[in-house]
Structure 1
């Protein structure tokens, strides 16, 4: 079969069956194997996708004839390094035009990626722009190790396939960007629920959860002592440390309230009430360790409670908020005030104490606004 005939089959597959695949690794693997069956000698293929994310700049799939496809992500900081600056990917994104480079006879001015590919046996390189409907430019690169490189007809085919490839990849890329944005602004658990269809006002569920409220101490004094830029740097470090500690233990960060953070650890997801409480205390300990270092150590107060919460969408018809609410949430926020009052870094309620297996210190029963009876409060040496 001529390469051109095989290329038409690949193009038809991309815009029909290929675009229905939701797994980008499976899509790229099937695409590459069809190209090989059409007579294109592939050694390595890399397809990069930009992503809307505060920390990551791109994700993609690297495929090799030996290993198949593997997904990768690129940190946003890489964009300022020589890994990207001056690279063939940057050249294609800027010019929006294909790029071809024979990999034999490279010179010192050629980008390092060409030298790496040549050292791995590559003989020819073709990169093509993949333009999506929102006018963003992605890149697909193709490498062969055949002596003499790609034939001109093969290189031309790879360039022609960029539009069908865009049609197949764009649905997957848009789903990935949408999921990334949802997780960034809502948290993992809420984002997954919204993606599954929980988008109507009043679409809430009752869940049992360990509830964590963390609040920074000494922010006013800090803001008076430091410059605005330094204060923002401390806040960034504080929120990143708190959020990462929670997410690492399968908790959901639901709210940033001034310099406070509200999170939950659902019991069903954790497997038991004790496991949810263990995860919450583990997060507090990780926050403590993370904030205790550096030129400006940050103090905080934390409150823990175990109870039922309503979890879902509330708000107006055109502006919804995915959050938790209920008496258990109110109790947790008021416990945090007692932590500051007693100058204890971490306090918990009696339901939390009973479910958790660790050691606590009784601080007595105290009136809590909104509750008829004084509530027992306990200190945790987290």
Structure 2
């Protein structure tokens, strides 16, 4: 077992500090193969707490090693239910299964797929972490002899080192994933790196897009709680997808309002990000139209929206008390975007932008007059987005 002792030592030292799950799993498998374990396919599955993702993992084969993510929706499908991971977590014990002479009517589809690809034997076992959480790993072989008891003992003996190397990676991925879920890409990286502490702020130029559902109060009064939440989730999906596809970050959900920014990284980047924000707004309108078709089929009322877009300097950072912080973005550009969104209903347009935005895509906009905006001394010119080409 000297090879396994050496492997555990490597995992607990170099592997644990590498922050590279692909490297860790590749080294783990290569060492076991050199020690005589006939591996063909290995899957190291990691669970973590996240409202969007429930797990991630690394799959090793002789052709290469790659990572993957698992959504909550996946866990209620036939792909997971009845699988080896489901079995070991439910029954709290390892699973050793011969892949020959399977029953297509009873055996899980994953076993049938492995057998069809030449797999002969399969082993799944739990991986325990120091925080009490449990994870899983599976091993398949194409050896005609399958896995021997000695080889399975070697896999079990190597698990403490594997857990030592993979646990910090999982904890970091879980924390980063949570930050990104609630703060967006750019801000989450800043918070993770410690560059934004309480009272510290970052100032930058950005395009600001503020969107808000129209008639939300009436919808809330006339619909069940479940229907309101379903509508909000669907609306949020439309906005977030369009913003992120166009190089923007969704910073905050404020009831039925959404605050997004498109950071301007250089002077030359300014027109491009203005156009990205306009493209995102058009994408939101198109997505909302498709959503309303589905709502009509379900005999539910349509959703309507107002969007205000402005460009200027903003400051973002953590504010609050020493024990409770909130991440937010502030500045005149944010206030103007919010207030011109508030004018969309009274002016009869779903998207209003300032002149600086309209000038980057003049063919898409029509001037709709000069208007007073609360907080500004002088009136500003506003432009409405033509929806004819959606």
TM-score (normalizing by structure 2) = 0.93
Q: Match of 1:344, SS? A: coil
More displaced stretch, 358-367 vs 187-196: 358-367
Partner residue in 1 for 2:347: 342
* Whole-angstrom distance in 1 between the partners of 2:275 and 2:35: 56
Partner residue in 2 for 1:96: 92
Mind listing any 5+ residue stretches in structure 1 that lack a counterpart?
none
Pair 1:261 & 2:262 matched: no
Pair 1:194 & 2:191 matched: yes
* Whole-angstrom distance in 2 between the partners of 1:156 and 1:245: 51
Q: Aligned ranges for residues 1-382 of structure 1 at < 5 Å? A: 4-65=1-62, 67-107=63-103, 108-268=105-265, 272-293=269-290, 294-295=294-295, 296-356=301-361, 358-382=363-387
More displaced stretch, 351-360 vs 305-314: 351-360
Render the CA deviation track for 1:275-329: whole Å, top value 9, x for unaligned: 1111111111111111113224311010010101012222222222222101111
Q: 1:39/1:260 Cα in 2 relative to 1: closer, same or farther (>3 Å)?
A: same
Q: 1:14/1:269 Cα in 2 relative to 1: closer, same or farther (>3 Å)?
A: farther
Instruction: Check the 8 A contact 2:32/2:155 in 1, yes or no.
Output: no
* Whole-angstrom distance in 2 between the partners of 1:270 and 1:39: 59
Instruction: Check the 8 A contact 2:191/2:197 in 1, yes or no.
Output: no
Render the CA deviation track for 1:233-281: whole Å, top value 9, x for unaligned: 1111011211121112221111111211111000118961111111111
* Whole-angstrom distance in 2 between the partners of 1:50 and 1:354: 48
- State the 1:61 CA deviation: 0.9
CA RMSD of aligned residues (A): 1.7
Instruction: Check the 8 A contact 2:373/2:379 in 1, yes or no.
Output: yes
> Which consecutive aligned stretches of 4+ in structure 1 deviate over 6 angstroms post-superposition?
none
Partner residue in 1 for 2:298: none
Alignment length (residue pairs): 378
Q: Match of 1:16, SS? A: helix
Render the CA deviation track for 1:140-190: whole Å, top value 9, x for unaligned: 111111111122111111112222211110000001100111011111211
Instruction: Check the 8 A contact 1:365/1:377 in 2, yes or no.
Output: yes
More displaced stretch, 316-325 vs 261-270: 261-270
More displaced stretch, 349-358 vs 22-31: 349-358
Render the CA deviation track for 1:93-149: whole Å, top value 9, x for unaligned: 123322211222223422222221111111111111011122221111111111111
TM-score (normalizing by structure 1) = 0.94
* Whole-angstrom distance in 2 between the partners of 1:225 and 1:49: 43
* Whole-angstrom distance in 2 between the partners of 1:78 and 1:43: 25
Q: Match of 1:17, SS? A: helix
* Whole-angstrom distance in 1 between the partners of 2:187 and 2:280: 19
Q: 1:270/1:23 Cα in 2 relative to 1: closer, same or farther (>3 Å)?
A: farther
* Whole-angstrom distance in 2 between the partners of 1:269 and 1:226: 46
Q: 1:314/1:357 Cα in 2 relative to 1: closer, same or farther (>3 Å)?
A: farther
